[in-house]
Structure 1
Amino acid sequence: MAQTYHRERRSIEPAPNPNAWMITFADLCTLLLTFFVLLFSMSSLNDRAFRNTFQNFSKATGILAMKVDERVALRPYRLMREMVKSLADLEKLDIASLEKVRRAERIKDDDAQRMISGNAIWYEELENEAGFSFILGQQLLFESGQAVLNPKAHPILEKLAQFMKSGFYAIYIDGHTDDVPIRSERFGSNEELSLARAEAVMEYLVVRCGANPKLFALGGYGSSHPLVPNVAGSQKAVNRRVELIFHWNPA
């Protein structure tokens, strides 16, 4: 009787590549490099530019985006003009665009000094046309080194508060100082002083004027964001300020 023999089949597999781990390691290094580049980019991004950029994401509405953009371009400009007109009714108050202030600061004549005096308010439109800002000089709001509101600032804030009750704007209140270090038992740094001043402005708008506290966000930047170089006394006066930044926020 014939015998049947079965030959065992063995699969021939290639030997594992000892360098395969380098592919995964290279991917990991690439991801880490991307992560740290993003961290560096965000840390060096101007705060206002960061706000303006991400403000657009909250307004994205698909196929209706063009209509929203048209509203953003028109309404803030009109409201800013209405607010400027309202503030112009107040006595002994100089109102000018921030660009005029920067030009006047370089001229150094009598009109320029009046334009950058303590009783001054400056305004400007934001770059992406999604809002505007009002800049109030420190001498209009506070005594030197203090964070208690000056009574002469009350009518100004009350005028501004009338335009805040619609709820269509998110409002950033940012305090700023010049580069002279503060020497005070209450405030350990210029950043603390600038933040306390922003808080004082918000408290008056909310408590005394009835503005919605959910509309506000505060910032205290000390001397880190000057409008003009801190060289002469008039330039330092321009940099001591509180900014109210209005962002279109209909949601």
Structure 2
Amino acid sequence: MKAGRALMQFSFIGQGPAGKAWLVTFTDLVCLMLTFFVMLYAMSDPDPKRFKALAESVPGQSAPRADGAERAEAAFTAEGLDRGRAIDLGYLGRVFESQLVGKPELVDVRLGRRGDALVVSLPGDLLFRPGSAELSAQGERALFILGGVAGNIGNALDVVGHADPTPTGNLWPSNWELSLARAQAVADSLRRSGYQREMTVRGHGDGRFAEVAPWAEEVERRQLARRVDLVIREHGSGR
């Protein structure tokens, strides 16, 4: 009985931590084999045709150019967007930001999130002359650039005009008519720039003036209030 008990104890001891020491040796062997194959590949001369076929089989990858030159790295571009579906607003915001860089026409354009929407605010002074709903040449250029991005997305788009409380004089019965006419002018320009989906065009007049930078000076608040917003929704447009 004592010999049997001793044999049983010996078996249990062999299955403890000391019995797994072989894993260290096995791991070393795997690492050495991996290093060997990496060095073997590094010293090899791969077949360009087979490598090209392999590279093209990977989604989202492109094969190297035949002349050996590096391809330009695509960042956030309008051409990379999917026209058929709504785009994530975070990604879309970065696309619009990339379009603003180095373009004097868009230096005063502001981007921001408002609930479930991305808002591109176009200052009225950028687009129109005071009291006018006719787009300036600078405004047309700015909308041409932004329309190239908007035309490549499937998100629903609202064009919303705003005004300050300053009386419009004899040209417009009220600030609401002026803000609506400006929003319609922006929508028409986006159409000419290639945007083909449905748009909702609205005018708010000076109805949202109380929400505009209440901490700022009155002159600055009025300047910020005169604007047209492109409100890009999370969901897709009708068509």
Report the TM range for the smaller structure's normalisation.
0.5 to 0.7
Matched, 1:133 2:119: yes
Q: Please state if 1:211 is matched with 2:195.
A: yes
Q: Deviations over 1:143-179 (max 9, x none)?
A: 1000000110122211211222234111101111111
Match of 1:76 among 73, 89, 100: 89
Paired residues of 1:169 and 1:215 also in contact (CA < 8 A): no
Q: Within 5 Å, which residues of 2 pair with 1:81-230?
A: 81-91=94-104, 93-94=106-107, 120-128=108-116, 131-184=117-170, 186-206=171-191, 208-212=192-196, 214-226=197-209, 227-229=212-214
Secondary structure (helix, strand or coil) at the match of 2:150 reads: coil
> Counterparts of 2:105 and 2:230 in 1: how far apart (Å)?
21
Gaps of 5+ in 2: 1-84
2:105–2:141 Cα contact (<8 Å) kept: no
Secondary structure of the 1:163 match is helix
Q: Measure, in 2, the Cα distance between the counterparts of 1:233 and 1:183.
A: 19
Whether the 8 Å contact between 1:121 and 1:136 is mirrored in structure 2 is: yes
Equivalent pair of 1:167/1:215 in contact (CA under 8 Å)? no
Instruction: Report if the CA contact (8 A) 2:156-2:232 is conserved.
Output: yes
Shift of 1:250: 3.4
**Structure 1 spans left out of the alignment, 5+ residues:** 1-70, 95-119
Is contact 2:105-2:138 (8 Å) kept? no
CA contact (8 A) 2:148 2:194 kept: no
* Structure 1 SS opposite 2:141: helix
Give a deviation string over 1:100-152, Cα, whole Å, max 9, x none. xxxxxxxxxxxxxxxxxxxx111111223xx3010011110001000000110
Moved more, 230-239 or 155-164: 230-239
Instruction: Name which of 189, 206, 221 aligns with 1:235.
Output: 221
Distance in 2, Cα, partners of 1:201 & 1:181: 22
Counterparts of 2:163 and 2:217 in 1: how far apart (Å)? 13
Q: CA RMSD in A?
A: 2.1
C-alpha deviation, 1:76, in angstroms: 1.0
Which is higher, the Rg of structure 1 or of structure 2?
A: 2
Letter aligned with residue 79 of structure 1: L
What letter matches 1:80 in structure 2? G
| CA distance in 2 between partners of 1:84 and 1:151 (Å) | 22
| Partner SS, residue 182 of structure 1 | coil
Aligned residue-pair number: 150
TM-score (norm 1): 0.55
Shift of 1:92: 6.1
Deviant stretches of 4+, over 3 Å = none
Distance 2:222 2:168 in 1: 14
Would you say the 8 A contact 1:134–1:244 is kept in 2?
Answer: yes
